[in-house]
Structure 1
Amino acid sequence: MTMKIPRRKLPARYAAVVSPLVLSLLMTFIVSLISTLKSLGFHPDLPAIWLTAWGLSWLVAFPTLLLVLPVVRRIVGWLCEPAAR
């Protein structure tokens, strides 16, 4: 018999920051890896170089997402019909 430990969640008010945080982490992780691989190939120092590139790209991406996401939502709202409720 296993006991299930309840997982604590952040309050809903944090979703506006957590969403761009997760998005920026995943996107910069993938894009910086592809870019570094394309630039260097399979270099012996690839992990260190890539992690440096990833960190720098995330430092730019996260604040950028926080700034542009409201604009993107407005543009999407202008282009798309609202979801049926």
Structure 2
Amino acid sequence: MIPARFAPVLFGFILSGLMSFLVSGIATVRVAGLVPGFTDLWASAWLPAWAIAFPIVLVAAPLARRVVARLVEPGATVRS
């Protein structure tokens, strides 16, 4: 198990990986279509995108949390 103090970094790592995977896949399909070798083409787009997305998420997440905190009522809870 990973120590809890690394949770924000692990969250950013997983979130940036998933989001860059999906977005690069959509962009690759739109540009190239489902061509032979699509998987290699997608991977060659995804890995550099993830390398950029991960540090950006680590910087952007705290900023996004502060913006959200200013936009919601203090102590507000979500009701289902």
TM-score, shorter chain, exceeding 0.5: yes
Partner of 2:17: 25
Q: 2:28 aligns with which of 28, 31, 36?
A: 36
Once the two structures are TM-superposed, the CA of residue 54 in structure 1 deviates from its matched residue by 0.2
Partner of 1:45 in structure 2? 37
Q: Could you say what secondary structure the match of 1:43 adopts? A: coil
Gaps of 5+ in 2: none
Runs of 4+ that moved beyond 2 A: 81-84
RMSD over aligned Cα atoms = 1.2
Give the TM-score normalised by the residue count of structure 1. Answer: 0.83
- Higher RCO, 1 or 2 (CA under 8 Å, sep at least 6)? 2
1:64 and 1:50 map into 2 onto residues whose CA distance is: 21
Tell me whether 1:77 sits opposite 2:69 in the alignment.
yes
Output the TM-score relative to the length of structure 2: 0.88
